[in-house]
Amino acid sequence: MFKSGFVTIVGRPNVGKSTLLNLLMGEKLSIVSNKPQTTRNNIQTILTGDNYQIVFVDTPGIHKPKHKLGEYMVDSAKNSIKDVDLVLFLTTPDVEVGRGDKFIIEQLKQQKAPIFFVLNKIDENTQDRVAKTLENYSKEINFNEIIPISAIKGKNTDKLLELMVKYIPEGPKYYPDDMITDVQERFVIAEIVREKALRNLSQEVPHGIAVDIIQMKQDKSGKYNIEVDLICEKDSHKGIIIGKNGQTLKKIGETSRYEIERFLKNKVNIKIWVKVRKEWRDNSLYLKELGYKK
Ligand SMILES: Nc1nc2c(ncn2[C@@H]2O[C@H](COP(=O)(O)OP(=O)(O)OP(=O)(O)O)[C@@H](O)[C@H]2O)c(=O)[nH]1
Ligand SMILES: [Mg+2]
């Protein structure tokens, strides 16, 4: 019997949704950083086994939006729980159920699919804390399964996969075996640059950053010439991104190039232009242009 289904991963920002997705896929497809609100779009990936195919949806962290971009992100995540076969609700050991998670649980109560309570980051928490969190969350809603994991260490994630296969229905293979994602090459490249920017910048700047690919050409030798706009919100941020003697921008460029080369399996030349667009996160037209569509 072949089984297939859509499985969405939801939770607050920074709980490790994208880390878990990458681990399950065995490949990095969704960017990860230690800053909340890293993922901005629903990212669909496809895991095909001998007797199953799971279509995962990684989603932006659900939070209280402060601008139109945030609204788009939260709407994307909320919409992902409609019409799926299984929901993975991810959180971390916090003992008390916070307001953010209470809000998500309210959303989960309004849908019919089975829900797994996946408690991540058990590697950095005591057993006692894990146990108390499990107990408190279980009072809020009836979960079909409760699975403590560490996405970074790959702890208990085999068990999680096994349970997912158990819960998804009998169904067809939706996608060919070799297809692992529905996102475009250009999207992956823009995301890699955004990740490197997030990782090389301090707290204040990253949230207001976007990446727009303005050119991508391959020469005869196969080498890619890529030009991107790195968009920020303030002149002062532009200075921070460029850094002293251009050091920060150089580092963003080098680390991006390295990873894009691995992704494209070809040599890459990358030019990054830093641009300021005041309050772009509240500009509908501009959000559309960047692919954050309503
Ligand atoms: N210690 C520990 N850290 C983890 C684990 N899983 C993820 N992290 C870290 O948590 C941070 C956030 O991880 P992400 O995967 O980007 O989290 P996310 O839920 O996708 O975040 P958003 O996209 O912002 O909603 C990163 O610094 C990860 O390295 C884990 O199992 N243990
Ligand atoms: Mg993420």
Instruction: Kindly report, residue by residue over 251-291, the tens digit of the pLDDT.
Output: 999 999 999 999 999 999 999 999 999 999 999 999 999 98
Please report the pLDDT score of residue 5 as a whole number: 97
Please report the pLDDT score of residue 258 as a whole number: 97
pLDDT along the chain (294 residues), means of 10: 97 98 95 94 96 98 96 96 96 94 96 97 97 96 97 98 98 95 92 96 84 96 97 94 95 98 96 96 92 80
Please report the pLDDT score of residue 154 as a whole number: 97
Q: Which amino acid is at 45?
A: T
What is the token pair recorded at 241? 């991104």
Is the overall model pTM greater than 0.85, yes or no? yes
Please report the pLDDT score of residue 207 as a whole number: 83
Mutate to test the pocket of ligand 1, among 8, 10, 12, 14 (most ligand atoms within 8 A of CB): 14
What is the token pair recorded at 71? 């609204």
Residue whose Cα lies nearest atom 10 of ligand 1: it is: 16
Please report the pLDDT score of residue 293 as a whole number: 76
Half-sphere exposure of residue 32: CA atoms within 13 angstroms, side-chain side: 14
Cα distance between residue 201 and residue 4, in whole Å: 40
* 144-168 per-residue burial string, b: 16 or more CB within 10 A, e: under 16: ebebbbbbeeeebbeebbebbbebb
Q: Which helix (H) or strand (E) holds 53?
A: strand 52-58
DSSP string, 187-224: HHHHHHHHHHHHHHS-TTTGGG-EEEEEEEEE-TTS-E
Please give the number of the atom of ligand 1 that sits closest to the Cα of 21. Answer: 15
61 lines ligand 1 (CB under 6 A): yes
Contacts of 158 (CB under 8 A, 6+ apart): none
**Binding site per annotation, positions:** 11-18, 58-62, 120-123
Please report the pLDDT score of residue 182 as a whole number: 87
Q: Which ligand neighbours the alpha carbon of 60 most closely?
A: 1
Q: Which ligand neighbours the alpha carbon of 118 most closely?
A: 1
Please report the pLDDT score of residue 294 as a whole number: 65
Please report the pLDDT score of residue 126 as a whole number: 96
